[in-house]
Amino acid sequence: MERILTIERHILDTQREHPLATGVLSRLLYDIALAAKIIARETTRAGLVNILGSAGQTNVQGEEQQKLDVFAHRTIFRMNDHTGRLCLMASEEHEDIIPIPDKYPCGKYVLVFDPLDGSSNTDVNGNVATIFAIHRKITPGDQGQLDDVLQPGRDIVAAGYVVYGPSTMLVYSTGHGVHGFTLDPSVGEFLLSHPDIRIPAKPKYYSCNQGNERYWPAGVRRFVEWLQAKDDPVRKPIDARYSGALVADVHRILLQGGVFFYPGDLRDPAKPYGKLRLIYECAPLAFLVAQAGGYASDGLGSVLDLAPHTLHQRIPFFIGDRTLVEQAERFIQEHDGEWVQTYSAVRHGAPGAAARA
């Protein structure tokens, strides 16, 4: 019989290769995997139980209904608030940083997460996901502070995502390659199914919400025409796929090759940065894709080099095959001078403003 590798075993083996590791990070990753199993249980039941209503409504038993994203947020928080491994959390579903309750000890790591990515897909039984990243505490004192969260993706210690699809998959990296595990519901374990994922050299898909095309800067529109090989009868066009759930789309790119992007747009000059959030979505995925041999950019440079200036900062996002992402950067540089100027002014925080508020 072939050797079956559970996620626990895999994390442990990886840790053994790094004798300085204390085991805290490994246990933190177990906690996240366990939270993911609980969320997976709820997402697969979502069509059956009365969980799809909006938060604040009451179900027939008089209990408060929770939206799945609220449920996922609470599950991850509760699995991690008392373990002594974290000094702070931050979630897309919470406005401020989330301290560890006073009654519990603080640890040396920081957890940031998007509890349920693509949550609008729950209404149509489409894929949803969780994204997470772990940083080391960098500020003095026991309790974590905002600066512990506002760290560039380059300094991430571990990151990953869990896709709740036809099967549940957890994909993670501690900086030693990217590894994918599939949840076997009959034994309740994540089993190694995709060791050492590398983004394929031949790009297969491009992925974006093309409904927004008219709002995009000219360079991004030119990039799409280039992907479609409009002016080149010899080069083959690249097929398009878009699910409305970032992780599902990036997962496809990771396994099959290509590029995902959610660019900045020109609708509101005060908001030239698009939709996706640097801390909870872009930086963790940029870390993973870099580990798989790919690249992520905000159109001007590497996402991993961006030090967030605010907790819920949004950025334009291009991720996947390095050649394609760099091609997008070239089109932007060539055609979008005005947009680049507007975006550059907010990229590192508004000048004169209390940037870290």
Residue ranges in contact with ligand AHG by CB under 6 A: 92, 114, 117-119, 209, 244-246, 275
Q: Which span (89-97, 186-194, 209-217, 303-311) binds Mn ion, by CB under 5 A?
A: 89-97
Q: What gap in Å lies between CA 37 and CA 265, rounded to an integer?
A: 37
Closer by beta carbon to ligand AHG, 7 or else 116: 116
Report, in Å, the least distance between residue 116 CB and Mn ion.
5
Closer by beta carbon to Mn ion, 117 or else 336: 117
Closer by beta carbon to ligand AHG, 75 or else 119: 119
Report, in Å, the least distance between residue 354 CB and ligand AHG.
26
By CB under 5 A, residue 249 contacts Mn ion: no
Closer by beta carbon to ligand AHG, 25 or else 283: 283
Q: What gap in Å lies between CA 197 and CA 82, rounded to an integer?
A: 33
Q: What gap in Å lies between CA 24 and CA 148, rounded to an integer?
A: 18
Q: What gap in Å lies between CA 335 and CA 221, rounded to an integer?
A: 10
**3-class DSSP state of 18:** coil
Q: Which span (117-125, 171-179, 320-328, 338-346) binds Mn ion, by CB under 5 A?
A: 117-125
Rg (Cα) of the chain, in Å, rounded? Answer: 20
Q: Which span (4-12, 90-98, 147-155, 298-306) binds Mn ion, by CB under 5 A?
A: 90-98
Report, in Å, the least distance between residue 354 CB and Mn ion.
26
27 touches, from Mn ion, ligand AHG, none (C-beta below 5 to 8 Å by class): none
Amino acid at 332: I
Q: What gap in Å lies between CA 173 and CA 196, rounded to an integer?
A: 9
Which one among 70, 114, 144, 288 touches Mn ion, defined by CB under 5 A? Answer: 114
Q: Which span (48-56, 114-122, 267-275, 292-300) binds Mn ion, by CB under 5 A?
A: 114-122
Which string of DSSP letters, residue by residue, matches 181-220?
EEEETTTTEEEEEE-S----SS--EEE--GGGGGGS-HHH
* CA distance to 90, 255, 351, per residue, from 348 (Å): 20, 32, 8
Q: What gap in Å lies between CA 160 and CA 250, rounded to an integer?
A: 12
Report, in Å, the least distance between residue 8 CB and Mn ion.
27
Report, in Å, the least distance between residue 203 CB and Mn ion.
24
- Listed in sequence order, the residues at least 6 apart from 233 whose beta carbon sits closer than 8 Å to its beta carbon are none
In contact, 158 and 25? CB cutoff 8 Å: yes
In sign, the C-alpha dihedral spanning 344, 348, 350, 351 is: negative
Closer by beta carbon to Mn ion, 92 or else 148: 92
By CB under 5 A, residue 117 contacts Mn ion: yes
Report, in Å, the least distance between residue 62 CB and ligand AHG.
28
Closer by beta carbon to ligand AHG, 107 or else 115: 115
Among 170, 142, 158, 102, smallest CA distance to 284 is for 158
Report, in Å, the least distance between residue 95 CB and ligand AHG.
14
298 touches, from ligand AHG, Mn ion, none (C-beta below 5 to 8 Å by class): none
Closer by beta carbon to ligand AHG, 101 or else 211: 211
Residues that bind Mn ion (CB under 5 A): 92, 114, 116-117
